Structures are given as C-alpha cells and as structure tokens.
Amino acid sequence: MNGRQVFSLAAALIVLACGLVTVAEQFPDAPGPDGIRKGGTLFEEQSAPPLADPVNAQGKRVRAYPEQPPTIPHTIRDYQIDKNVNRCLECHNRIQTGVSGAPMISITHFMDRDFQVLADVAPRRYFCLQCHVPQTNAQPPVGNSFKDVDILLRNRKQQSAQ
C-alpha cells in the first residue's frame, strides 16, 4: 500500500465518520420501527408487556370456520405431552369421555395418512397443541378483518334484497 492509497483510505474514513456524526446529530434518538411492539426508540430497551391471562371458558367456543381446530376452553398449565403420557387424552380419549364428560377426539384423529382408521389416536395426531391452543385475554397487536362466512352470506342476501 503506497502513501497515496493510505491517504485516500483515511480521507474516506473521515468523510464516513463526519456523515455518521451528522446523522446522529439530526436523529439523536431515532424512533423504533413500527413493529408489533409500538413506540420507543432504537436505543431504548422496552420492558416486555405482562403475560396475558389464560381464559377458562364456560362451555364451547364457536369455531370461526368449519375446519378450525377447536380452541382449548380450559387452562393447560403443566400438562405433560411426551412419549410417556398425554395428559389431554386422559380425558379426551374414547374410553375416558364417558366419565370425564370431555368431547372425544374426532375420528379423523384415528386415521393415518392413508386414511386407515387405527384403534387409537394416530401418531401424527398425538401432539394436540400443534393445532389446538388455549386462549388468553391478550389484545391482538395487529387488527383482523376476518368475517364469518355466515355474516358474508347474510350481507349478500341483504344486498340482493335491496
């Protein structure tokens, strides 16, 4: 590296540093990106929002669409689901539903991927929480304009009646 190259590199670095200083002066504490956790600045560390409370529903929740896996209407704290035991199935398996009063897992859960019905829950359906989840009282950070299909049909009917 000759003297000229060293000089140009130093000059470039100085220009870059000056630019950064200017930016930092213009935006001393830039606002954070408008993400899920709104507010705050880039240099500010916000504390996490409090954990939401689980909701223990009385009775069944209506599904938002027919294929929706039903949500879990009770708390499932410390429920063990592993190769040793499945706590959900202690109430929701076929034999136990008579006593527990819990809904039986649907017959689709007995089918393997070739639609062969097995004697008990199919291994691919064993991990309940892959589809079924409990609900909390958390406010959704992003809005949702989903409309129930029944509402859409009713609106259509009203429009055509007018």
Partner 1 sequence: MVEWIKGYWHTLSRPATAFSLGFLLLSGFIAGIIFWGGFNTALEATNTEKFCISCHEMRDNVYEELKGTIHWTNRSGVRATCPDCHVPHEWTHKIARKMQASKEVWGKIFGTINTREKFLDKRLELARHEWARLKANDSLECRNCHDFEFMDFSVQSERARKLHATQLSTGKATCIDCHRGIAHHLPNMADEDAWGPDNPADDASRFGEDNPLKTEGTK
Sites of contact with partner 1 (CB under 8 A): 56, 58-59, 74, 77-78, 80, 82-85, 87, 89-91, 93, 95-96, 98-102
Query: Quick check: helix, strand or coil at residue 155?
Result: helix
**Counting Cβ atoms within 10 Å, is residue 14 exposed (0-12), middle (13-18) or buried (19+)?**
exposed
Q: Between residues 100 and 155, which has the closer beta carbon with respect to partner 1?
A: 100
Q: Between residues 90 and 112, which has the closer beta carbon with respect to partner 1?
A: 90
Q: Between residues 120 and 148, which has the closer beta carbon with respect to partner 1?
A: 120
Rounded to the nearest whole angstrom, what is the least distance from the CB of residue 138 to partner 1 in the complex? 17
Phi/psi of residue 81, nearest 5 degrees: -130, 100
Distance between CA 14 and CA 40 in Å, rounded? Answer: 31
Q: Between residues 32 and 79, which has the closer beta carbon with respect to partner 1?
A: 79
**Counting Cβ atoms within 10 Å, is residue 134 exposed (0-12), middle (13-18) or buried (19+)?**
middle
Q: Between residues 32 and 110, which has the closer beta carbon with respect to partner 1?
A: 110
Rounded to the nearest whole angstrom, what is the least distance from the CB of residue 118 to partner 1 in the complex? 15
Distant-in-sequence, close-in-space partners of 89: CB < 8 Å, separation ≥ 6: 96, 105, 121, 128
Rounded to the nearest whole angstrom, what is the least distance from the CB of residue 8 to partner 1 in the complex? 60
Two structure tokens written together for 46: 């916000």
Place of tokens 């509402």: 151
Rounded to the nearest whole angstrom, what is the least distance from the CB of residue 106 to partner 1 in the complex? 19
Rounded to the nearest whole angstrom, what is the least distance from the CB of residue 132 to partner 1 in the complex? 16
